[in-house]
Structures are given as structure tokens and as C-alpha cells.
């Protein structure tokens, strides 16, 4: 069903952060930091994949994301919604339903047999494609998906995510230089504010998290020396 109500952006950010905290998708641990795929340490982690198990929350977030995309990109701006393998596939499907558009998905690499395709579903030349994923950190992983979409002759100038880290200043430039605009619901700053208001974590943990969010490289360097 296409959403017809448009809450204020800040209210959607606050509620999105609250929902992530409510289901335990947000993890803060200053004493035993998480190690990302890049090998870098951080006291924060968010698991948006958990959202698929909460129907009321995922439905609300998909309404929010559809409203955000229509408000920021246009009501008739797209012909196709593509989810990025793997986390973006369910969110891409739900967004396609909200926007009443065809759904496709993009593989990280060709599957190596059969058609050896990266695009699954029907995507045609000239279609305007919205790339949907669960989150973005520095924006780099989106570029490969965007290029695969463009190789079909379709265009892709927008990507939508539930969660945007919001702490890497180069992210928007990386995407912008590739001709891609980012649409998102909430960032670590929204989560931190909601965590403070709700008392979800102790004050020392929140201070450590804020220290990391303000200067990730400085935080890591300080811990390495310690």
C-alpha cells in the first residue's frame, strides 16, 4: 500500500532509532569493541537484518522510507526497485510493494553459471532504478551495485537505506561523485540521542560511543596506545 502520510523527517529519525533500540539491533560495547569486516574496531554495531523478524516495525520503517524517497526524489521518479544482495533483498521487495513498482535484485558478483547474471528479475534499458539496502557506512559498496544496474542500460541516481552511519565525511561525496543521492531514515547521532533519552545504556558507555562517533580514527589510535 502506498503511504499517503508524511511525518516530519526528524520524527521519523527519532522513531526509527527507537525501534532499532527496542529490538536490540543496536549494540554498544566500549570494553570489548566489535571488529568490522574491514578489520577496524568500533564500540558500535547495528544489525538491520534483525528487522525482518518484527512485522510491525519493518512495516512502519518501510512506510517511513517510502515517504522519505517520495518527498526527496519525487513521486514518479522511479520505474524499478532493486535490492542489493543479500541484506537489501527483503527491504527492496517491501519498498517495491510500497511504491507499486517492479522489484529486482543485484548480485555482488555474477553467479558463475547459466546466464551469469548480476541482475535477477526484469530490468530494462531506460528504467529509472532505486537501489535499496539496509544500511550504508562509507558508501563504497553501493558503487558496484550501481554500476551493475547501469550496465543494463537503466539509470540509477538514488539509493535508499534505513540506517546511515553519518560519521564518515567522505560518504556523500563518494556517492555524489558517482551521480548517486542518498536517502536514509536515521544515523548514529539519532540513535545516540534516543539511547540517552531512554536510558538504554549507562553514561560511561554513551560517553565512549560519542567519543568514537566524533573522531573514529582518534578513538582507535587512543585504544591502540593504551
Give the CATH number of the domain where residue 132 resides. Answer: 3.40.50.2020
- Of the candidate ranges 88-102, 133-147, 172-186, the one whose mean pLDDT is the lowest: 133-147
Q: Is residue 26 part of a domain?
A: yes
Q: Is residue 1 part of a domain?
A: no
User: What's the predicted TM-score (pTM) here?
Assistant: 0.94
Whole-number pLDDT of residue 160: 98
Furthest-apart CA atoms within the chain: distance in Å: 55
Residue in this structure with the C-alpha cell 533500540, named with its chain if needed: 21
Whole-number pLDDT of residue 196: 95
Q: Is residue 127 part of a domain?
A: yes
The Cα-based distances of 42 to 37, 65, 74, 104, 120 in angstroms read 11, 27, 36, 33, 35
% of the chain at pLDDT higher than 70: 97
Instruction: Count the neighbouring beta carbons within 10 Å of the beta carbon of residue 103.
Output: 20
Question: Which range of residues forms the domain containing residue 55?
Answer: 9-220
Q: Collapse the DSSP code of 185 into the 3-class scheme (helix H, G, I; strand E, B; otherwise coil) and give the result.
A: strand
What is the β-pairing status of strands 119-120 and 128-136? Answer: unpaired
Count of domains forming the chain? 1
Whole-number pLDDT of residue 113: 65
Q: Is residue 226 part of a domain?
A: no
CA distance 139 to 175: 6
Q: Is residue 2 part of a domain?
A: no
73-131 per-position pLDDT tens digit? 999 999 999 999 999 999 999 999 999 999 999 999 887 665 668 999 999 999 999 99
How would residue 139 be classed by pLDDT, with cut points 50, 70 and 90?
Answer: confident
Q: Is residue 225 part of a domain?
A: no
Q: Are 23 and 75 in contact, with CB atoms under 8 Å apart?
A: no
Amino acid at each position: 500500500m502506498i503511504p499517503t502520510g508524511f511525518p516530519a523527517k526528524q520524527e521519523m529519525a527519532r522513531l526509527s532509532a527507537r525501534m532499532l533500540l527496542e529490538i536490540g539491533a543496536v549494540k554498544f560495547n566500549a570494553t570489548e569493541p566489535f571488529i568490522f569486516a574491514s578489520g577496524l574496531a568500533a564500540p558500535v554495531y547495528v544489525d538491520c537484518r534483525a528487522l525482518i523478524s518484527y512485522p510491525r516495525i519493518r512495516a512502519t520503517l518501510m512506510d517511513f522510507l517510502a515517504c522519505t524517497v517520495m518527498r526527496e526524489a519525487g513521486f514518479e521518479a522511479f520505474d524499478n526497485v532493486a535490492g542489493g544482495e543479500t541484506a537489501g533483498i527483503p527491504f527492496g521487495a517491501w519498498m517495491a510493494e510500497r511504491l507499486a513498482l517492479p522489484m529486482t535484485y543485484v548480485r555482488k558478483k555474477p553467479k558463475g553459471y547459466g546466464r551469469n547474471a548480476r541482475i535477477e528479475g526484469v530490468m530494462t534499458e531506460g528504467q529509472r532504478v532505486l537501489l535499496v539496502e539496509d544500511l550504508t557506512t562509507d558508501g563504497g559498496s553501493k558503487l558496484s551495485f550501481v554500476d551493475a544496474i547501469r550496465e543494463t542500460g537503466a539509470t540509477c541516481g538514488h539509493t535508499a537505506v534505513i540506517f546511515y552511519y553519518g560519521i564518515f565525511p567522505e560518504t556523500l561525496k563518494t556517492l555524489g561523485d558517482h551521480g548517486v543521492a542518498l536517502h536514509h531514515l536515521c544515523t548514529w547521532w539519532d540513535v545516540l540521542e534516543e539511547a540517552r533519552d531512554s536510558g538504554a545504556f549507562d553514561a560511561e558507555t554513551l560517553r565512549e560511543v560519542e567519543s568514537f562517533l566524533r573522531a573514529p580514527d582518534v578513538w582507535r589510535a587512543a585504544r591502540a596506545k593504551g
